[in-house]
Amino acid sequence: MTPESGFPEAFVRRLDTILPPGILRGTVAAMAGPQAVGFRVNSLKATVDKVLAGLPVDAEPLPWLPGAFVVPAGHRQPLLDSDAFATGAIWIQNPSSMIPPVVLAPEAGESVLDLAAAPGSKTLQIACAMGPGADIAAVEVARPRFYRLKRNLRAQGAAWVKTFHRDGVTVPRYRADHFDRVLIDAPCSTEAQMRPDDPASFAHWSEKKVRTMAGKQRRLLEAAVRCARPGGVIVYSTCSFAPEENEMVVQHVLECFGDEVAIEPIALDIPGRLPGLPGWKDAEFDGSLSRAMRVLPDGVYEAFFVCRLRKR
């Protein structure tokens, strides 16, 4: 580990080549510092006014998502101790994690697939956006995570969501060209959640793990494209800085599907937002990858990558 950061030296060295010049120190400091706490009001169970009136802390709204708020780092425990949390009226979630469902923009009457759904944060956000009884399918391959997903959906008032204990890669066998919108918030190396005061958060990180995750992510994004109907929207996201898990995965799908998919712009004003990288090492990416979004950590937002594609 580098003494000045507490993070693995190989991670910091890579990060310096991924980020624009001059911002490494601030990015590492933001990852190491206090983290604000985001939450969403669960509109399946409560109204915003009722929740805010009963909270023990003041909350600042997120301007781009109605019903979403942020409180300072020291207020996490009061939120966890609140009646709103105990009854499922709020769901604690980092603001960056709320971005992919907003970019997906599901509408009432559509059919939506969450292809790697556990623990259910984004599935629940989609359910709130679409309303009770919406046509939502949530897939999870890991058995413990699958049952956690089901428990969370039930506790939050979204038990109607159809859940499937299945490898997302296999879903096109059953529902090819079917869904109006598909979300794949892919399993990743979780670099955004690494903290220097928690060695367990990066104990399993390595460049080999990054490459291994990238292989799984390519297969999942291929499956997501195949599950979407012509004209449908696919949103791909990770909480990783690694180009191998982000731009290179999307580039792979662009090359596989050719004119069948295209990257669309993301119209969200997010602090610390950067475009997708133009290339990585010896690889040059399609110019449309500049439409993807990288979010830098700043003490409120965690690092995230989001890309919106349209199937033609």
Chain-centroid distance, C-alpha 117:
10
Q: Label residue 86 exposed, middle or buried (CB < 10 Å: 0-12, 13-18, 19+).
A: exposed
189-206 in b/e burial notation, b at 16+ Cβ within 10 A? bbbbbbebeeeebbeebe
Token pair listed for 69: 């708020």
Q: Which residues contact 87 (CB under 8 A, 6 or more apart)?
A: 45, 46
- 239 labelled catalytic: yes
Pairing verdict, β 304-311 and 60-61: unpaired
Catalytic hit among 128, 188, 227, 239: 239
Cβ atoms 89, 42 nearer than 8 A: yes
AA identity, residue 229: R
Catalytic residue positions, numbered? 239
